Amino acid sequence: MNTSFYIAKRYLFSKKSLNAINIISGISVLGVFVGSAALIVILSVFNGFENVVLSMYNTFTPEIRIEPSIGKTFYPEGPYFSELKRDKRIENYTEVLQEKALIRYKDGQYIGVIKGVSNDFLRRYQLDSTIIEGSFTLKKGGTNYAVVGSLVQSYLSLNVNDQFSDLMIYSPRKGAGNSINPADEFVVKSIHPAGVFQIQQQFDETVIVPMNFARDLLEEERNISSIEIYLKKGESVDKFHDEVSKKLGDAFLIKDRVQQNELLYKILNSEKWAIFIILTFVLIIAVFNIVGSLTMLVLDKKKDIAILSSIGAGTALIRKIFFIEGMMIALTGCISGMLAGLIFCLLQQHYGFIKMAEGNAITESYPVGLKVTDFILIFFTVTGVSVITSGISSRLSVKSLRGMKEEL
């Protein structure tokens, strides 16, 4: 066994002559332990909230969206689009036609987004989980129905249980000029609301309708605004994205979820890094307790240091002993803290014993999401700070080696 490691281990785990040194070393380990455990728990809870938010977005945000690079619509026919529809990797292929329109309900009016979707849209998972009133019904018995975002419902004071009141939707007629009767410049269609969904403001200003209704309203016989694609579980989104981009070329924009919601992902990432940096400063303060611990240990081991020096141990070896001692204090606290954080997070995942505030509609208990990268990042952060701290403190502690020998 390495001499310096053996001596450092004996100093850390064997009984010391001064009780104060035991306490200081214990405080150093405890500080790193608490800091590491707190980082794991808080980052994991943040990951859990991130997963909850993204899962809500993912119901309406496809894994791949195909849009025209120029203009608002395109004709989705041709050899490649036919091949794409039959691709076995695709779980859900939805054609979308959307545009802003004036929506009226009784005495209220609101300018929102009309989103016409093909029949595949209703095969998506978790659609019903977004409904707060009514049901997610777009067609029933040959009749078209609309599903309205909560923002639209709020502005219009919409009641889905009122069977005698429909939505009136106004869309500017294509190529319409100045007319004596302004009503002739609009296509007007009525549709009954079947349900209300709620996700986030970006989606809640939308009214979802069947594709044939949207075509009649927007006077689009064959063009669409976009194609939304969900892949089967286990398929690579990045590989599929690159493949479609090469086949369609510059005429189309192929966007994954990050590109569709750039602002959301930037906010989530920036918040996580802000939390990590703040807690890392707390952890650094805890790691710097090692300086005091090593200083006290040197004072306690003056005699040992002098003896080692007398039998030929050089300054480098003695410095290495206290450097390893500092690293062992830090890593013992770090590893045990991460283990404690992992156990706590696993218990929270399975039992959810820490509950959210009453009335929370998203999740009953605090969500937890474990990521290996968080553990690696915390370990290397503690290791890096410990190397610097232990190096400085070991050099300062044995700086007066000659004075110690003369004193003894």
pLDDT digits 0-9 by tens, 51-79: 887 777 777 889 999 999 998 999 988 78
Q: Which residues pair with 224 in a beta bridge?
A: 74
Residues in the chain: 408
For residue 256, give Cα distances in angstroms to 88, 228, 239, 253: 19, 10, 11, 10
Between residues 363 and 285, the one the model is more confident about: 285
Q: Which of 28-37, 153-162, 394-403 has the lowest mean pLDDT?
A: 394-403
Q: Could you give the CA distance from residue 260 to residue 282 in angstroms, rounded to a whole number?
A: 36
Q: Could you give the CA distance from residue 262 to residue 268 in angstroms, rounded to a whole number?
A: 10
First vs last Cα of the chain: how many Å apart? Answer: 29
Q: Note the pLDDT of residue 308.
A: 65
Q: Which of 105-114, 135-144, 209-218, 267-276 has the lowest mean pLDDT?
A: 267-276
Amino acid present at 48: G
Angle between helices 262-287 and 372-397 (to 10 degrees): 30
Closest CA to 116 of 199, 190, 215: 215
Residue 105 pLDDT > 90, yes or no?
Answer: yes
Mean pLDDT of the residues in the chain = 83
For the chain, state the CA radius of gyration.
Answer: 32
Q: Note the pLDDT of residue 275.
A: 85
Q: Is the full-model pTM beyond 0.75?
A: no
Residue 124 pLDDT > 90, yes or no?
Answer: no
Q: Which of 188-202, 276-290, 310-324 has the lowest mean pLDDT?
A: 310-324
Q: Could you give the CA distance from residue 117 to residue 144 in angstroms, rounded to a whole number?
A: 12
pLDDT above 70 covers a percentage of the chain that reads 82
Q: Which residues pair with 168 in a beta bridge?
A: 104, 190
Q: Could you give the CA distance from residue 278 to residue 32 in angstroms, rounded to a whole number?
A: 15
Residue 402 pLDDT grade (very low, low, confident, very high; cuts 50, 70, 90): low
Q: Which of 125-134, 147-156, 218-227, 242-251 has the lowest mean pLDDT?
A: 125-134
pLDDT above 90 covers a percentage of the chain that reads 34
The domain segmentation of the chain, as residue ranges, is: 3-57+265-407, 64-259
